[in-house]
Amino acid sequence: MSEGGFDASQFEVRPIPESLARLIVARHHYAGTLPATRFSWGMLTRDERLIDDSTPQVDGLGLVGVACLSVPMAASVLSNVFPQLEPFTESLELGRLVLTDPVPANAESWFLTRVWQQAAATGLRGIVSFADPLPRHRVAAVTLPDGSVTESVEILSPGHVGSCYQGAGAIACGRSTARTLIYLPRYGTVLSERTLSKIRQQESGSAAAEKRLVSLGASPRRRGQDPLTWLRSALDDVGATRLRHPGNFRYAWPIGPRRQQQRSAIAIATTPYPKAATHRLASPLSSSLHHSAARSPLSSSLTTRHH
């Protein structure tokens, strides 16, 4: 690195196994999970200053970042932007992007540029991604030197407007659909409508969904208890709240040869780049979180950058 900047000669970008990508996402991304993924690339370094004992190794190089191209829940996520491309084969979503600190910030755009070059070689011609402007926090128990226990507010994500996407030449395409989230302020996580539906309808996967709520503090459902009645109580137990979200910022990249880029013409209205100073959402901290933060002498934040 030169003057704290990014030295590209110390890095390589290669395809990596999904298992390695999953490991990095589980450790360093606030979501903690990997969506259905088609391709994963790793950012590898030989710079020993960026590697510690916990850094996975690939051929003697440290894995300090991953980019995963994933399959969204609906084909329309892709076809709304690239209607001339075949969803899932010619277009995919950038589902996860993670770089561990202290990799310099400008490494993100360099990493994505190389990923797009390699992705185009597989036949991909269009990439869509989203930036969530909603800050995410969680409350953690902290034991003080005197043995007493207090609570600390951890910053999982400050909220993103896609600055690294802008640095990588993305085209801004407005926002995704506004929606109401079932948000858990103490955990910095969202319960998907699909998860809630599994419980309401007692569909396949409902047991795992219920188990997750119990792990977050809900009382277990009693034998014979109505699922809807239990769900209402469980959401109260975990402090769930309804939060109106204006939609994530949407970005798109036509990739590949120029003639293919013309075919990949974006069919959705483009917009100016959003800015963090004006477009990041206010923190959705509940009153209990505010109280915890105010009385806690400690605070910590996760240092990994993720999108």
> Is 216 among the domain residues?
no
Secondary element (H or E) of residue 14: strand 11-15
- For the stretch 126-176, pLDDT in tens is 999 999 998 888 787 788 888 888 878 887 777 889 998 999 999 999 999
Residue scoring higher pLDDT (29 or 242): 242
> Is 229 among the domain residues?
no
Q: How many residues does the chain have?
A: 307
Q: State the residue range of the domain holding 16.
A: 8-133+158-177+247-275+302-306
CATH code at position 167: 3.40.630.30
Q: Could you tell me if 61 and 45 are in contact, meaning their C-beta atoms sit under 8 angstroms apart?
A: yes
Number of domains in the chain: 1
Name the percent of the chain in helix, strand, coil, to the closest 5. 30, 30, 40
> Is 234 among the domain residues?
no
- For the stretch 35-68, pLDDT in tens is 899 999 999 999 999 898 889 999 999 999 999 9
Q: What Rg value do the Cα atoms of the chain yield, rounded?
A: 21
At residue 144, φ and ψ (nearest 5 deg) are: -85, 165
What is the per-residue DSSP string for 170-206?
Answer: PEEEEE---EEEEEETTTTEEE-HHHHHHHHHT-TTH
